[in-house]
Structure 1
Amino acid sequence: METIARLASAGEVGALDFPWWLLRYQHAEAIRGRLAEGYAPATANKMLSAMKGVLKSCWRLGLMSADERDRASDVEPVRGTRLPPGRSIPRGELRSLFEACAAEANDPRLRARGVRDAAMLALLYVGGLRRTELASLRLSDYDAEERSVRIRGKGNKERRVYAEGGAELLLAHWLELRGEGESEEPLFLPVRKDGLVQRLDPHGEKKSSLSDQTVYKVVKRRYREAEIKEVSPHDFRKTFVGDLLDAIGDLSTVQKLAGHSDPATTARYDRRGERAMREAASHLHVPHFGD
């Protein structure tokens, strides 16, 4: 709402001081136009939805009539689509990332960090976890017998993903080094520079979960060591969805595993149509000079 207030007042008034009850259709339409110019459709529509919610509150408080509310709210959603951000990670680059972790895992002094990072990258890939989801995992979230991981995602929605394809082995190695703990303790812990797993903070208290920024730094360190193009935590998620759709083609199942509330979000990561378009384009040839 702060963004809309600043747009509507030429930057002079914030959301708390803006007279929302004075908004009329022409103002709302102008706001929609500015949002459409500066933001992706999904983001712009979320802002418009929030504005309509405020207008409804103004009506409930008796600050505007129902007719004024309805007219000001009668703006069309912003149309359009955007390609999903990031990139898919090729198989060779994935291998290089895990090889970078393995190089440390084979060094007794750095073993814990190498094993931990490999397990984290494995869950980012085979589980399609968001970095906040990975950072907040608890010991009780992983069922080694079922090879399943309970995820608390956006909107406090829980889902279950599966540590398959070798991820279960990497997790077993990490848990062996991590040691036992209470069920609500973090699954992943910091590793000190001397290679020891840091279970307690300097005050002797149990260490809290890793931050999502730590997850970002782990990925950054590993792609640099692997000497590949830049990779973000979200790129693992994009690769997860794309690879699964390639493998099974079942949009509904992949949507559930990814924790998407809208199947259209999952469909944006489907690479099959992109490959078909590339194949079609390959049939066209530009004549070279001298031909």
Structure 2
Amino acid sequence: MKILVPFDFSKSAEKALDYAIWHQRQFGGSIDVLHAISGIIATPEMPMILPDDMVINGAKDRLEEIIKIKRTENKLADETLQCQVLVGTPASSILLKEKSENYDLIIMGTHDKESLFDRILGSVSNTVVKLSNCPVLAVHSTSKADIKMEKILFVIDDVTHINTALDHFLEYNNKVKAKTDFVHFSKGDDNIDLQAEEILKKYYTINDLNFAFELKNIFSKDPIADISQLAVEGEYDMIAMVRDNEGLFFNYFRPSFSIKAIHHTLVPALIFKAKES
């Protein structure tokens, strides 16, 4: 597995790096840690002002020291855990690297409090979730220190296209082998029947799948609150969701909403793209 970890030196980024190392142990592969330094945006009256060498070199030294410690603590080879500092806006730098180098997973931190700028234009994590080709695992700074994946809550509705995402999830979870609850949240009379048929067909036709699962249906007037409550009461280690612009969750689980749900529950969220590009 090829993992990209955007890193801004925050506690949530440090936790995301820990989750990346955990995944590398499960799946093998490599981890690239990326720190992007923004310049001042250019205007017709003012050219773009780039960070000077002192800022760039300071960030490189700081990041390399963190990576060196992580390599030593986890007995990782240099080529398994690498880092890079780029000049550019964080979201665009992350997305360009993800698309050019074909990563399998992005693991990044999320923040409790968004600035006014974030609320207007979208935070980095929201932008990456919305535009990335690969799945994104969003991790909170206070997510569990003892990382495990024993129980996963996979959230679906009756409209969102889960076919492609389900393939990716089954491949992922066949390695992790977490007990998975596929929970359908409905605002009306629809139920899980159509999605259940797809889940069962895939589960029983793909060779060597080996994890327990249940299918559940929940009527909900407030999916965010109910999912948050269920995640806590069910002691789930992760929530899985599908990003789609056509289903109920386009309204309730836009990237910003999915991140807000994780902020509230403190549970990491693995967010899949509904369809391939």
**Bucket of the pairwise TM-score, normalised by the shorter protein:** under 0.3
Larger radius of gyration between Structure 1 and Structure 2 = 1
RCO greater where, 1 or 2, for CA within 8 Å and sep 6 or more?
2
Q: TM-score, structure 2 length as denominator?
A: 0.23
Q: TM-score, structure 1 length as denominator?
A: 0.22
Greater helix share, 1 or 2?
1
